[in-house]
Structure 1
Amino acid sequence: MRRPDPADRRSRLITATPAGRMAWEDRRDALREVENQLLAPLSATESAGLRAALRALACRVQQSDPMTDLCAAVREGDSAR
């Protein structure tokens, strides 16, 4: 859904519909299941180390594409856990 941005009348804010939110949650849950299956052979320490390394890599990639805030995406993903 699109609605005017109260802070900037020239732009529009886009929000997910209830169906869109549900679809996103379904995809997120499916991704977590695949991630759990892939990381199952690793210990909790190894899994945490891999996640930290991937997070650092994503933040490094951010420097080459400043239009996409990968670090924020990673932080949001971490906070959803």
Structure 2
Amino acid sequence: MAIYRLLQNVSLGPEEIRRLTDAYERTLSALSIKDRNDPLTEFIAKKIFELGQTGLKDPKQISARAIEELRLS
């Protein structure tokens, strides 16, 4: 639930939150991470949030970039 804790402390609109949570869920799914308490989820959440602030809008692109930048594939 790392992305949800992270998003509680920021001022974003519902569409931005939806995009980031979608990208987060896609990333966890792509990496087959099922344990939401895995410490790796915190790193992924922070990277998703960071990438969302760069202007990327498509959750698929955000997810792919996160995996690439974190070198998790």
TM range (shorter): 0.3 to 0.5
Task: Return the index of the structure with the highest Cα Rg.
Answer: 1
TM-score (normalizing by structure 2): 0.36
**Relative contact order, higher structure (CA 8 A, sep 6+):** 2
TM-score normalised per structure 1: 0.33
**Structure richer in strand, relative to its length:** 1
